[in-house]
Amino acid sequence: MRTILSKLIILLILPFAVYPQENDFQVWTCFSARKKIIKKTTLTVKEGLRFRENAALISKQFTEAKIRYKYNKHWFPALGYRYSLDWDNNQKLEKKNRFYADISYKNKFKRFNFSVRSRILKQGNSYDYENVFRQKFDISYNIRKTKLDPSSAIEYFYTPENNFDKLRYTIAISYPIIKDLDLEIAYRIQEEFNTNNPDTFYIFEGKINYYF
């Protein structure tokens, strides 16, 4: 764990201009619905749409389902599957599958909520799959006398081929529109590493979360 944290710190303090980069502004949207199906077990279904090239072209459409189990108040294992339609730079369509397993740890201190999510996933098409390990650190704060919940997160991506090849930094805020319906708005920066022409994405994300 100490080695991982050391590498993360190094990545964070490296100047962004060390390598030539290609920048893009993107818009991500997502609707999710969560329901408790049996004791301690919830099902979450997501439908997402993403746009790139300054939000002018569609880049991804996906449907995702995840089952999560509450082992205790701190630990939450989960299994999930995503089916996506991905468009490349030439607008060529590719169908992809993603299978993943999560283990999440959560804790609370006063009005702060901390979480760490570790994810192992296998994604690709019928001809080529890749393995990815992702770990996300998240902290949120419940502002006193208001329904606003700001949060921030950092997530790294590790692959056997490129080691640490991607970082995401996110700041977000959520607000309950009505009972069981939340709106979340986020701004995210995603950087690539260990490639000749790394991409940097500046992402605006809007989410609607429904709980029933």
pLDDT digits (tens, 9 = 90+) for 74-132: 999 999 999 999 998 888 999 999 999 999 999 999 889 999 999 999 999 878 899 99
How many helices (H) does the chain have, and how many strands (E)?
A: 1, 11
CA distance 104 to 25: 30
Which neighbouring-strand residues pair with 165? none
For residue 41, the model assigns a pLDDT of 97
pLDDT at 162: 78
Q: What angle do CA 29, 11, 132 make, to 5 degrees?
A: 55
CB 158 within 8 A of CB 166: no
Residue 57 confidence class, pLDDT cut points 50, 70, 90:
very high
d(CA 184, CA 188): 13
Distance, CA of 177 to CA of 88 (rounded, Å): 35
pTM equals: 0.86
Decide if pLDDT at 1 tops 70.
no
Q: How would residue 21 be classed by pLDDT, with cut points 50, 70 and 90?
A: low
Could you report the per-residue pLDDT of 125-183, keeping only the tens digit for each? 878 899 999 999 999 998 888 888 999 999 999 998 878 899 999 999 999 999 899 99
- DSSP β-ladder status, 181-192 and 163-178: antiparallel
Residue 9: its pLDDT value, please?
42
